[in-house]
């Protein structure tokens, strides 16, 4: 029987997954906005902004849920992370602020405005940076570098996250977000030219993400041994590795043969398997080697109420979200 | 270089002071839009639809900035005050989680509202506007309850400085928190109502016949006016709660040094710590006792009863309190004037003097909100959780907080400038009289 701590940790991981699958794809779309070139550039940008316009704010709330759940359910772990990762978290926030505002300004500003291009570029750039720092932060948490580092400012607040493993996870995150976005965007347009374009982008970003996946896996050996062992020396770990592999293969096959529903479903599976693989890889630790979900958790009275709120909240939010996507995401062809 | 604690406090204050402006817009603007749209559905007059869509456009940008600045806040609680969050998370985390779900519903239905004009039936569209308003108010309710808990912590027992027997639900029956919530929610409607009314009054001074601005003014002023009539009442309830549960704070905001019966109320004035008196103010004898206890001879505790190291900064708190009250009474007077005009003259826009006053009062609600929060937050010092944890003990060990302080200040200044500029351009292209007085109102297709 899983305890309350396990269930809440599961909820947090689920929110994080949804944030990556939905919000992450919005970042990916921003990256493609930045990279749009050639005769179709304008059409691509148009597609991207209409696709994320109505939904990005709602998608973003998953992150807020992750944060609030973390400090309600596991306050000690939250305090440690937000102290030691002050700098990358601040940079992440900067990215979030710039990206949201630039997108709003872009949509709001008159088309002819001289600043229109600037807002677009800022939106794209900050999407890229935010994705990178999100990856770096998750990578640092995974890397067991956060156990009371000592030394001066640089050792404590900088060298924990400027490390090969977190940086590789940062780049990996960029490729994954870009990949997710392109597989979704194929569904958003009826125009064959754009669909071809995003199919190509999806294949390239998939290839890049697979390469980064291999690099990250290799780096675990020296830089994040905990996760590496969790994944490779335990049968559940292997299940997730195999699921990740299946997701990669399914995405490749779907894109290659123009079965875009298969491609999208596999892309979702691929990314989900990575996140849950990470989760199981370090279970029950939040921060290795000392903070677990058991020794940092709030008392049961809080956890019970939280669980109740979560269930009630989901009963309200999930149908509403469905509504939102039904109104704006009429899947074409 | 400023000291780290000071930098953290300033950063928190700037982030909150920035967020609150967009947050109140996110609460009250959807309400105005819903009223306009409802009038459109009832009367079929295009002008109301035009009003709703234009207000919606402005709201979209405010909401986006509100969402990102709010995200900054939810991280900053941990980034700046990790010890506070570690201590308080199990108790008030529940409120923030509820708030999270309120944001969720708000963001979802705002998306539907803003982008779904032609995609869903009118009544569903109106409904989503209603849901946005309700969830906006709910999110304010939850977050202000969390703040109320910091002012009057409940729902736990202390054991060796740590909370045990935690009962998070007690935050819902916390008197300070509850009184703060109605005061804050009213404040949002006051501030936005008068801001919008002031803007449209400004345009009516130039184009007195423009029905677009006439209707806008009516909706905004009635909304803001009703709330402004209730606001001093709600403020009085809050002040009584503060007097009961944190008498030192009340004494600080009144500049009341010596415990006496028949305490005076001071209008204006600067509290002087060295002499323990207030100078340059207007004294209203027995005022304070009367206001707080309904009895001119009631006794009111003064600052001298409390150890000096627990006093909040007196001058700031007292002045901010005076600014809020003055704004509150001016706005209440404006509301009375406005309702009298509606009642007797059936018209709000004939008198240029009234319109000019409305323009002058446009920022007062926001000013009152900012100063009211200074009263609450600075008045809570030196505590972050009153009686439990001092702000000094809550701050992060991360050095060099001046850097994010400067950075976020510049960032927010930049954002504020851009928002103002965009809104200004949006405002100057309002529909002209000629466009709108074209076809007669189509009463027929309404209420199908
Ligand atoms: C439109 C805005 C507005 C207006 C007109 C008023 N207030 Fe206010 N006031 C606020 C907006 C506000 C606020 C910004 O919303 C605060 C900060 C915290 C809170 O809950 O509300 C607040 C706080 C606040 C506090 C401090 C509570 C605490 O420290 O916990 C008191 C005692 C009052 N108010 C009393 C009044 C009175 C007697 C008013 C009479 C006119 C008044 N307010 C008008
Ligand atoms: C949005 C309206 C608000 C404004 C304008 C505001 C304003 C301020 C100000 C001026 C300070 C600095 C006080 C000082 O150090 O002298 C402050 C501190 C703080 N506020 Fe608020 N506040 C608001 C709402 C809230 C709410 C709802 C919460 C919590 C739930 C909160 C939590 C805090 C915390 C944790 C600090 C830092 C600790 C401290 O200085 O005591 N604030 N706020
Ligand atoms: C009295 C104080 C506050 C009020 C009345 C308030 C109200 C609101 C409202 C109505 C929104 C909706 C978005 C918008 O209107 O732009 C919002 C957004 C937000 N607020 Fe605040 N807020 C307050 C203080 C805080 C504090 C202290 C925090 C952090 C702990 C916070 C966190 C957030 C977050 C995360 C969002 C974004 C939600 C989204 O993505 O849609 N707020 N706030």
Residue range B55-76, pLDDT digits in tens:
888 888 888 899 989 999 989 9
Q: Is the pLDDT score of B265 beyond 80?
A: yes
pLDDT of residue A144: 73
Alpha helices in B302-401, H assignment, sequence order:
314-340, 352-361, 364-378, 391-394
Overall average pLDDT of the A217-229 stretch: 80
Please say whether the beta carbons of B324 and B372 come within 8 A: yes
* Cβ of B248 below 6 Å from ligand 1: no
Backbone phi, then psi, for B260, in 5-degree steps? -145, 160
| Contact flag A320-B109 (C-beta cutoff 8 Å) | yes
Phi, psi (deg, nearest 5) at residue B255: 65, 40
Instruction: Rank A76-85, A312-321, B179-188, B427-436 by mean pLDDT and report only the highest.
Output: B179-188
Q: Which residue has the higher pLDDT, B25 or B429?
A: B25
Cα gap B243→B288, rounded to integer Å: 11
pLDDT at A160: 80
Residue B431 reports pLDDT greater than 80: no
| Residue B3 confidence (pLDDT) above 70 | yes
* Mean pLDDT computed over B311-316: 85
- The ligand placed nearest to the CA atom of residue B28 is 3
**Region B131-159: what's the mean pLDDT?**
91
Q: How far is CA B121 from the centre of its chain?
A: 33
Candidate of B70, B151, B415 to mutate for ligand 3, largest count of ligand atoms within 8 Å of Cβ: B70
pLDDT recorded at residue A159: 77
Query: How many whole angstroms separate alpha carbon B40 and alpha carbon B109?
Result: 20
Structure tokens at A179: 């990949």
| Nearest ligand to residue B177 Cα | 1
- Ligand 1 centroid–CA A59 distance in Å is 34
Nearest CB to A299 within list B63, B90, B110:
B90
- In a 13 Å sphere around the CA of A299, the CA atoms on its Cβ side amount to 14
Task: Provide the pairing of β-strand B277-284 with A291-292.
Answer: unpaired
Whether pLDDT at A165 is above 90: no
Q: B2, B7, B12, B187: which to mutate for ligand 2, most atoms within 8 A of CB?
A: B12
Residue closest via CA to ligand 2's atom 42 equals B147
Tens digits of residue pLDDT in A256-273: 888 888 888 888 888 898
Query: What is the widest separation between alpha-carbon atoms in chain B?
Result: 75
According to the model, what pLDDT value does residue A88 have? 92
Q: How confident is the model at residue A233 (pLDDT cuts 50, 70, 90)?
A: confident
- What percentage of chain A reaches a pLDDT higher than 70? 96
Global confidence as pTM: 0.90
Alpha-helical segments (H) within B81-121: 82-115
Ligand 1 site, residue B370, Cβ cutoff 6 A: no
Q: What is the pLDDT of residue B1?
A: 44
Q: Looking at per-residue confidence, does A320 or B439 come out higher?
A: A320
Of ligand 2's atoms, which has the minimum distance to the CA of residue B95? Answer: 30
**Inter-chain touch A82–B60, beta carbons under 8 Å:** no
Which positions in chain B touch A105 (Cβ < 8 Å)? 61, 418, 422
Distance CA A145, CA A285 (A): 13
The span from the CA of B52 to the CA of A149, in Å, is 55
Which pLDDT value is given to residue B360?
92
What does pLDDT average to over chain A? Answer: 85
What digits encode the pLDDT tens for the residues B336-351? Answer: 998 888 888 777 777 8
pLDDT band, residue B434 (cuts 50/70/90): very low
Q: What average pLDDT does range A94-120 have in this prediction? A: 82
Instruction: Verify whether the Cβ–Cβ distance B85 to A78 is below 8 Å.
Output: yes
Higher-confidence residue of A180 and B273: namely A180
Q: Are B55 and B243 in contact (CB under 8 A)?
A: no
Q: What is the pLDDT of residues B213-247, one digit of tens each?
A: 888 999 999 999 999 999 999 999 998 898 888 88
Beta strands in chain A (DSSP E): 285-287, 291-292
Sign, Cα dihedral of B185, B191, B193, B194: positive
Cβ within 8 Å, pair B67-A324 = no
Quick one: pLDDT band at residue B439, thresholds 50, 70, 90?
very low
3-state secondary structure of B273: coil
- Give the pLDDT of residue B96: 92
Burial group, residue B86, by CB count within 10 angstroms (0-12, 13-18, 19+): buried
Q: Which residue of B107, B143, B179, B373 sits with most ligand 3 atoms within 8 Å of its CB, as the best mutation to test the pocket? A: B143
Tokens coding B356: 């000019």
Exposure letters A212-238 (e unless 16+ CB within 10 A, then b): bbeebbebbeebbebbbebbeeeeebe
For residue B186, the ligand 1 atom closest to its alpha carbon is 1
pLDDT at B445: 38
| Residues B109, B45 contacting (CB under 8 angstroms) | no
Does pLDDT of B443 surpass 50? no
Q: Can you tell me the distance from the alpha carbon of A13 to that of B228, in angstroms, rounded to the nearest whole number? A: 45
- B97 interface with A at CB cutoff 8 Å: yes
A298 DSSP 8-state letter: P
Q: How far is the CA of B232 from the centre of ligand 2 (A)?
A: 22
Question: What letters, b where the CB count within 10 A reaches 16 and e where it falls short, cover B372-404?
Answer: bbbbbbbbbbebbbbebbebebbbbebeebbeb
Q: What is the pLDDT of residues B169-212, one digit of tens each?
A: 888 888 898 999 999 999 999 999 999 999 999 988 888 888 88
Which residue is closest in CA terms to ligand 2's atom 23?
A: B16
Task: Using the predicted structure, report yes or no on whether residue A332 has a pLDDT greater than 60.
Answer: no
Ligand nearest to the CA of B81: 2
Residue B128, pLDDT > 80, answer: yes
């Amino acid at each position: 029987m899983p305890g309350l701590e396990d269930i809440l940790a599961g909820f947090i991981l689920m929110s994080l997954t949804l944030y990556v699958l939905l919000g992450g794809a919005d970042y990916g779309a921003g990256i493609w906005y930045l990279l749009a070139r050639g005769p179709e550039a304008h059409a691509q940008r148009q597609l991207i902004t209409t696709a994320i316009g109505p939904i990005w704010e709602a998608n973003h709330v998953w992150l807020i849920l992750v944060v609030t759940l973390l400090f309600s359910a596991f306050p000690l772990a939250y305090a440690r992370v937000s102290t030691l990762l002050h700098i990358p978290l601040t940079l992440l926030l900067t990215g979030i602020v710039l990206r949201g505002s630039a997108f709003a300004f872009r949509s709001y500003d008159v088309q002819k405005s001289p600043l229109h291009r600037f807002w677009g570029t800022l939106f794209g750039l900050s999407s890229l940076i935010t994705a990178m720092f999100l990856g770096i932060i998750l990578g640092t948490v995974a890397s067991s570098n956060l156990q009371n580092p000592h030394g001066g400012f640089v050792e404590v607040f900088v060298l924990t996250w400027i490390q090969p493993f977190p940086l590789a996870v940062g780049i990996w995150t960029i490729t994954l977000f870009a990949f997710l976005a392109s597989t979704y965007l194929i569904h958003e347009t009826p125009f064959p030219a754009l669909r071809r374009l995003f199919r190509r982008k999806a294949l390239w970003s998939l290839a890049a993400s697979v390469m980064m996946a291999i690099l990250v896996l290799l780096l675990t050996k020296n830089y994040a041994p905990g996760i590496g062992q969790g994944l490779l020396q335990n049968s559940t770990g292997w299940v997730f590795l195999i699921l990740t592999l299946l997701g990669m293969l399914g995405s490749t096959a779907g894109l290659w043969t123009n079965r875009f529903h298969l491609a999208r479903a596999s892309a979702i599976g691929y990314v989900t398997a990575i996140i849950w693989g990470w989760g199981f890889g370090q279970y029950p630790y939040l921060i290795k080697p000392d903070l677990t979900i058991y020794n940092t958790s709030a008392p049961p009275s809080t956890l019970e109420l939280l669980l109740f709120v979560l269930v009630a909240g989901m009963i309200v939010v999930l149908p509403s979200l469905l509504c939102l996507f039904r109104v704006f995401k009429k899947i074409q062809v | 270089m400023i000291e780290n604690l000071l930098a953290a406090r300033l950063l928190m204050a700037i982030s909150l002071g920035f967020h609150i402006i967009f947050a109140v817009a996110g609460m009250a603007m959807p309400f105005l839009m819903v009223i306009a749209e409802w009038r459109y559905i009832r009367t079929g007059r295009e002008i109301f639809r035009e009003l709703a869509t234009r207000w919606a456009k402005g709201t979209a940008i405010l909401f986006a900035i509100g969402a990102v600045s709010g995200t900054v806040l939810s991280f900053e609680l941990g980034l700046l005050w990790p010890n506070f969050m570690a201590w308080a998370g199990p108790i008030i985390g529940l409120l923030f989680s509820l708030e999270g779900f309120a944001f969720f519903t708000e963001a979802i239905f705002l998306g539907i509202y803003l982008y779904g004009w032609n995609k869903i039936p009118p009544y569903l569209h109106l409904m989503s506007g209603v849901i946005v308003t309700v969830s906006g108010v709910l999110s304010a309710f939850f977050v202000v309850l969390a703040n109320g808990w910091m002012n009057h912590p409940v729902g736990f027992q202390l054991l060796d400085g740590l909370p045990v027997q935690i009962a998070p639900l007690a935050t819902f029956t916390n008197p300070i928190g509850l009184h703060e919530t109605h005061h804050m929610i009213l404040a949002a409607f006051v501030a936005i109502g008068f801001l919008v009314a002031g803007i449209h009054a400004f345009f009516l001074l130039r184009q007195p016949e423009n029905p677009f601005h006439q209707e806008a003014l009516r909706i905004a002023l009635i909304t803001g006016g009703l709330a402004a009539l209730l606001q001093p009442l709600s403020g009085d309830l809050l002040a009584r709660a503060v007097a009961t549960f944190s008498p030192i704070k009340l004494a600080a905001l009144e500049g009341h040094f010596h415990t006496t019966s028949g305490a005076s109320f001071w209008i204006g004035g600067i509290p002087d710590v060295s002499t323990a008196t207030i100078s340059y103010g207007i004294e209203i004898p027995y005022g304070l006792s009367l206001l707080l206890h309904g009895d001119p001879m009631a006794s009111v505790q003064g600052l001298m009863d409390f150890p000096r190291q627990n006093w909040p900064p007196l001058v700031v708190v007292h002045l901010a309190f005076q600014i809020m009250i003055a704004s509150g009474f001016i706005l209440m007077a404006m509301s009375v004037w406005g309702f009298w005009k509606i009642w007797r003259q059936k018209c709000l826009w004939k008198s240029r003097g009234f319109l000019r006053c409305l323009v002058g009062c446009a920022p007062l609600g926001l000013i009152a909100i900012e100063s009211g929060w200074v009263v609450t937050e600075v008045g809570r010092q030196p505590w972050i959780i009153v009686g439990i944890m001092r702000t000094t003990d809550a701050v992060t060990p991360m050095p060099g907080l001046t850097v994010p302080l400067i950075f976020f200040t510049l960032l927010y200044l930049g954002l504020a400038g851009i928002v103002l500029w965009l809104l200004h351009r949006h405002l100057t292209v309002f529909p002209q009289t000629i466009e709108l007085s074209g076809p007669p109102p189509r009463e027929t297709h309404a209420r199908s």
